[in-house]
Amino acid sequence: MQDFNDTIFALSSGGLPAGVGVVRISGPKALYVTNVLVGSLPEPRQAALKTIRTRNGLVIDHGLVLIFPGPASFTGEDSAEIHVHGGKAVVATLLEELAGFKACRLAEHGEFSRRALENGKMDLVEVEGLADLIAAETEMQRRLAVEHTAGGLSKLYEDWADRLTRARALIEAELDFADEDDVPGSVSDQVWADMAKLRSELSAHLAGADFGEIVRDGLKVVIAGAPNAGKSSLMNALARREVAIVTEIAGTTRDVLHIDLNIEGYAVKLYDTAGLRETEEVVEREGIRRALKTAAEADIILSLAELGTPARSDFPDFDGKVFRIGTKSDIHPIDVKHYDLCISSATGAGLAELHQLLVNDLLARSAALSLALPSRLRHRTLLTDSLEALSRAVTAMSAGLDVRAEFLRQAAHSLGRITGRVDVEDLLDVIFSEFCIGK
């Protein structure tokens, strides 16, 4: 159990050794302990070079010190940063000295960000965006995370929740004061027109969830096909290194191999799978089962076949895009009639076109979409719940106003759970476990 009365500290600047180590301190005693260690505090938010000492007067290091009196700090509490040389012994001595103060302890995973949430400095969408920003490996992941941390998506959800609240208030006024002269009649007519419009806005927003999850988690591309179709050779060619074993022996690949690619700023997860054929060999059959399972979960399947043999176009439980790729064009005539693309992993022919094919698919998915998109399953689930409740409210014309008002309350409640405005305590431990100790 986290105690928000404690003062917490942690190394916030990453692994050691490093050029600089930044130790962050936050809580009721943050300025007091910093003052003890550095002698006198600098002006707020102004860096000053100080000598950092133990309480016994021994010099730990010389470094920059900054203080951030609350609530004008990341956490909303009194905070400080001590910048020292990033040697392991220097940082360890400083952390040990901080731990010696009463009610000071090492921060838990994500505790600085959790305090920012508790103190109203961030909401849950912004916190999740911050976690994604730290984890971002591609340009589009960075842009999506920045969009979330900037608060634009939160503002959209809060505006929608406010419209729902106002609609409920007007309906309840009509229910409670229908006989009063100062309450206009048929208030619900204007309410339901706005709620129908909101339903359309919410539905259009939810339609972008697939692409949001692709940007955050990566486009899942599965290479499938018969044994010796060139799947592992293509995997190695796209990775530009030997990831998969390539031999003339059919059935070499028994398990699903995976690499991450960065294509035009998008994360692409590429999977090489076992060759698809009828076999009695137990291990190979398990590999084929895993191959079909992975293919069913893909966004795109590259169905490979050696030129002159048909490329499979149907896969169980998969209704996404299948591109038929003819392989080994260096030893077979190119056939544009029966394949979407012909390639040779040996010579590199067609690989640039395959790269562009994936880029074009990503661009088509993102057409007319901004990056103010839901990007997590949690977002999608709660938005779906909200849309379903709102749809029931709009369409249940024969139900009483009190019933329809309850549907609106449910819709607002689901939206509130996205930003953390209501009832999300059960989610917090899971979300903040994604963070490193110093954040």
pLDDT reported for residue 405: 87
Q: How far apart are CA 395 and CA 417, in angstroms?
A: 24
In whole angstroms, give the CA distance from residue 133 to residue 154.
Answer: 16
Q: What is the pLDDT along the chain (439 residues), one digit of tens a residue?
A: 456 689 999 999 988 999 999 999 999 999 999 999 999 999 999 999 999 999 999 999 999 999 999 999 999 999 999 999 999 999 999 999 999 999 999 999 999 999 999 999 999 999 999 999 999 999 999 999 999 999 889 999 999 988 998 888 888 777 765 554 444 555 667 888 999 999 999 999 999 999 999 999 999 999 998 888 888 889 888 887 666 444 444 444 556 788 899 999 999 999 988 777 777 777 778 888 888 898 899 999 999 999 999 999 889 889 889 999 999 999 999 998 999 999 999 999 999 999 999 999 999 988 767 788 899 999 999 999 999 999 999 998 888 888 888 999 999 999 999 998 775 565 566 556 666 766 6
Q: What are the boundaries of each domain within the chain?
A: 7-122, 127-208+374-420, 216-366
Residue 221 corresponds to which tokens in the numbers above? Answer: 């591309």
Let me know if the fold of 7-122 is the same as that of 127-208+374-420: no
Q: How far apart are CA 206 and CA 303, in angstroms?
A: 30
Cα 46 vs. chain centroid, distance in angstroms?
34
Pick out the residues of the known binding site.
24, 81, 121, 228-233, 247-253, 272-275, 439
Determine the angle formed by the axes of helices 425-432 and 111-118, rounding to 10 degrees: 150
Q: Are 78 and 71 in contact (CB under 8 A)?
A: no
Would you state the pLDDT for residue 245? 45
CATH level 3 topology of 127-208+374-420: Four Helix Bundle (Hemerythrin (Met), subunit A) (1.20.120)
Structure tokens that stand for 257 in this block = 């191999």
Burial class (CB in 10 A: 0-12, 13-18, 19+), 270: buried
The answer to whether 137 and 26 are in contact (CB under 8 A) is no
180 half-sphere exposure, CB direction, 13 A CA radius: 8
CATH class of the 7-122 domain in this structure: alpha beta
Residue-level pLDDT at 181? 47
Work out whether the CA dihedral 310, 314, 318, 321 comes out positive or negative. Answer: positive
* Binding-site residue set for K(+): 228, 247, 249, 252
Structure-token pair, residue 338: 């029966």
Q: Which residues are annotated as a binding site for (6S)-5-formyl-5,6,7,8-tetrahydrofolate?
A: 24, 81, 121, 439
Walk across the sheet containing 7-11 and list its strands.
Answer: 48-53, 59-68, 79-86, 18-26, 7-11, 104-106
Given this model, what pLDDT does residue 249 score? 44
Pairing type for strands 266-272 and 219-225 reads parallel
| Contacts (Cβ under 8 Å, ≥6 apart) of 206 | 374, 380, 383, 384, 387
The confidence score (pLDDT) of residue 232 equals 86
Q: Which residues are annotated as a binding site for GTP?
A: 228-233, 247-253, 272-275
Q: CB–CB of 54/60 below 8 Å?
A: yes
- The pLDDT value recorded for residue 389 is 95
Q: Quote the pLDDT of residue 89.
A: 97
Annotated binding-site members for Mg(2+): 232, 253
Secondary structure string (H, E, C) spanning the chain: CCCCCCEEEEECCCCCCEEEEEEEEECCCHHHHHHHHHCCCCCCCCCEEEEEECCCCCEEEEEEEEEECCCCCCCCCCEEEEEEEECHHHHHHHHHHHHCCCCEEECCCCHHHHHHHHCCCCCHHHHHHHHHHHHCCCHHHHHHHHHHHCCHHHHHHHHHHHHHHHHHHHHHHHHHCCCCCCCCCCHHHHHHHHHHHHHHHHHHHHCCHHHHHHHHHCEEEEEEECCCCCHHHHHHHHHCCCCCCCCCCCCCCCCCEEEEEEECCEEEEEEECCCCCCCCCHHHHHHHHHHHHHHHCCCEEEEEEECCCCCCCCCCCCCCEEEEEEECCCCCCCCCCCCCEECCCCCCCCHHHHHHHHHHHHHHHHCCCCCCCCCCHHHHHHHHHHHHHHHHHHHCCCCCHHHHHHHHHHHHHHHHHHHCCCCCHHHHHHHHCCCCCCC
Q: How far apart are the first and last CA of the chain?
A: 18
pLDDT in the model for residue 431:
57
Asked if residues 220 and 210 have their Cβ atoms less than 8 Å apart, the reply is no
Alpha-carbon distances of 45 from 48, 73, 121, 342, rounded to whole Å: 10, 9, 17, 60
Whether 246 contacts 233, CB under 8 Å? yes
**Length of the chain counted residue by residue:** 439
Nearest-angstrom CA–CA distance, 417 and 114: 16
> What's the topology of domain 216-366?
Rossmann fold (3.40.50)
* One-letter identity of residue 171: I
